[in-house]
Amino acid sequence: MILKNKKVLVTGADGFIGSHLVERLLKEGAQIRAFVYYNAFNHWGWLDTFPEDRLKEIDDFTGDIRDPNGVLEAVKDMDVVFHLAALIGIPFSYHSPDSYVDTNIKGTLNVLQAARKEKVKRVLVTSTSEIYGTAQYVPIDEGHPVNPQSPYAATKAAADSLALSFYRSFDLPVAIVRPFNTYGPRQSARAIIPTIITQIASGKKSIQLGNLKATRDFTYVTDTVNGFIRLAEAKGVDGGIYNIGNGCEISVKDLVKTIAEVLGKDVNVVTDRRRVRPDKSEVERLLSNVTKVEKVCGWKPKVALREGLKETCLWFKDNLKSYKSGIYNV
């Protein structure tokens, strides 16, 4: 299914990955409805930074993913739904797990129910590598046991199961996109790479972090978005789960070193106990196997980590005022 001229809904369009996906869909010639979170300021998140001529091409829909009536209205007449709206901060999920259930599970249910009623041709539900927990073997393929270690991960695992149940029970054409750690311009300071960059770029000689030994598989945002697009257009993907990753791992300690080199700075790291997850909740290792997605739609990552970090650092240096580098962003 070619996305040109297709009616496409993106939930979470105001966020990091969502805004990049909207940009790409504009280039693909899709007719986009962007579901953004209602707020009294009428802010559309990162879409507010788009040029006016680009915004005119987007049908902005302001609502709340937890509201089934609003979601149904947003899904009407759509061919494809990219469901990215979610609460994603792991530390905040320790504090407010109820809100994660409402947003990530019930919100996904609302999307699935609406898509079923409106006979949407394809739904792509955004998952997360966090649901695997610490790797029991590497590289992690889609058959790896699901072992969520935080309330956030648990709600995403439940949302995945709901989506697959709608495929099995109602033949809803749904696929699960499971990105490993996506990074790039516009990412929230709650994530590790913006946390490091903003502290260093703001002139701090000592930066505060949590666990330095944990390893992650980082994927540049344009690669992640390309994975969404390729899966949306591919045949035979319904009912499947697809990892999107770079196939390389790096420890947080080495990540700090690499970012410091890119920025041309020398820094020390101080452990901030607030940033350390509870022992049984820490995911120590993630490394993706992306053989499946390569086979079904030919997707492969194109951006190496250092190359992506250079682009990301440049963007953050130019947009540092948009971030609160002096606080712990939960």
Q: What is the DSSP letter of 15?
A: S
Report d(CA 305, CA 262) in Å as an integer.
11
Report d(CA 304, CA 71) in Å as an integer.
37
Peptide bond into 139 cis (omega under 30): yes
Residue 238 CB neighbours (<10 A) = 15
Q: Please report whether residue 276 resides in a domain.
A: no
Backbone angles phi, psi at 4, to 5 degrees: -60, 130
Q: Looking at this protein, which amino acid is placed at residue 231?
A: L
Q: Please report whether residue 266 resides in a domain.
A: no
Q: Which residues pair with 216 in a beta bridge?
A: 250
Q: Please report whether residue 108 resides in a domain.
A: yes
Q: Which residues contact 243 (CB under 8 A, 6 or more apart)?
A: 129, 140, 141, 142, 178, 179, 180, 288, 289, 290, 292, 293
Q: Are 10 and 33 in contact (CB under 8 A)?
A: yes
Q: Are 20 and 221 in contact (CB under 8 A)?
A: yes
- Segments in 171-218 forming alpha helices (H): 192-201
Q: Please report whether residue 309 resides in a domain.
A: no
Determine the pLDDT at residue 325: 80
Instruction: Classify 295 as helix, strand or coil.
Output: helix
Q: Is 242 a catalytic residue?
A: no
Report d(CA 284, CA 277) in Å as an integer.
10
Q: Please report whether residue 323 resides in a domain.
A: no
Q: Please report whether residue 208 resides in a domain.
A: no
Instruction: Classify 65 as helix, strand or coil.
Output: coil
Q: Please report whether residue 29 resides in a domain.
A: yes
Report d(CA 96, CA 93) in Å as an integer.
5
Determine the pLDDT at residue 272: 87
Q: Of 152, 167, 183, 242, which residue is the catalytic one? A: 152
**Domain hosting residue 177, numbered range:** 7-184+219-247+287-303
Confidence (pTM) = 0.97
Instruction: Classify 272 as helix, strand or coil.
Output: coil
The structural domain count of the chain equals 1
Q: Give me the CATH number covering residue 169.
A: 3.40.50.720
Q: Please report whether residue 202 resides in a domain.
A: no
pLDDT tens sequence for the chain (330 residues): 899 999 999 999 999 999 999 999 999 999 999 999 999 999 999 999 999 999 999 999 999 999 999 999 999 999 999 999 999 999 999 999 999 999 999 999 999 999 999 999 999 999 999 999 999 999 999 999 999 999 999 999 999 999 999 999 999 999 999 999 999 999 999 999 999 999 999 998 899 999 999 999 999 999 999 999 999 999 999 999 999 999 999 999 999 999 999 999 999 999 888 889 999 999 999 999 999 999 999 999 999 999 999 999 999 999 999 998 878 888
Instruction: Classify 13 as helix, strand or coil.
Output: coil
Determine the pLDDT at residue 330: 82
Burial environment of residue 253 by CB neighbours within 10 A (0 to 12, 13 to 18, 19 or more): middle
Determine the pLDDT at residue 226: 98
Report d(CA 147, CA 213) in Å as an integer.
20
